[in-house]
Structure 1
Amino acid sequence: MAVSIPLTDDEQAAIEDGQAALDRLLDRLADTPTPAGPTPRELDVPETARLLPPGDVRQGGMGCASR
């Protein structure tokens, strides 16, 4: 089932324009409160932590076997 999710211009740019656009979006969102209240900047995240770029998500296939 396909679902369409509306994206802001910044979110669309992060998908289409590469790492620099993604970094700008993440920097802007760092001051947006999470559902629990604190912003990502306020969370206890090590200085050395890096976000991984989004990758392909595939379901099924030859990956892990279901138990």
Structure 2
Amino acid sequence: MAVSIPLTEDEQAALTDGKAAIDQLLNRLADTPTPTGPTPQKITAPGSAQLLPIVAVRQGKAAQS
């Protein structure tokens, strides 16, 4: 997917470096206007949104019972 969609350096770092880079990108974009005008901070009041945790996923054989 990263090959098909052009990404900024910050977005690429968020994709490859994990949670710290994602948090940094979200903080930087908080005051960037959306296409309709308001910034993400104006759309949702601080503390009203709950971010989902990032969980490592490991692929492998399923445990047999």
User: What's the Cα RMSD here?
Assistant: 2.2
**Per-residue deviation, 1:27:** 0.5
Cα 1:37–1:28 change in 2 (3 A) is: same
**Match of residue 25 from structure 1:** 25
The letter of the residue matching 2:50 is R
Q: Does 1:5 align with 2:5?
A: yes
Letter in 2 for 1:37: G
- Name the structure 2 match of 1:60: none
Unaligned runs of 5+ residues in structure 2 are 56-65
Q: Which has the higher helix share?
A: 2
Q: TM-score, normalised by structure 2?
A: 0.66
Distance 1:53 1:15 in 2: 15
Structure 1: 4+ residue segments shifted above 4 A: none
**SS of equivalent to 1:16:** helix
Unmatched runs of 5 consecutive residues or more in structure 1: 56-67
Q: Give the structure 2 partner of residue 14 of structure 1.
A: 14
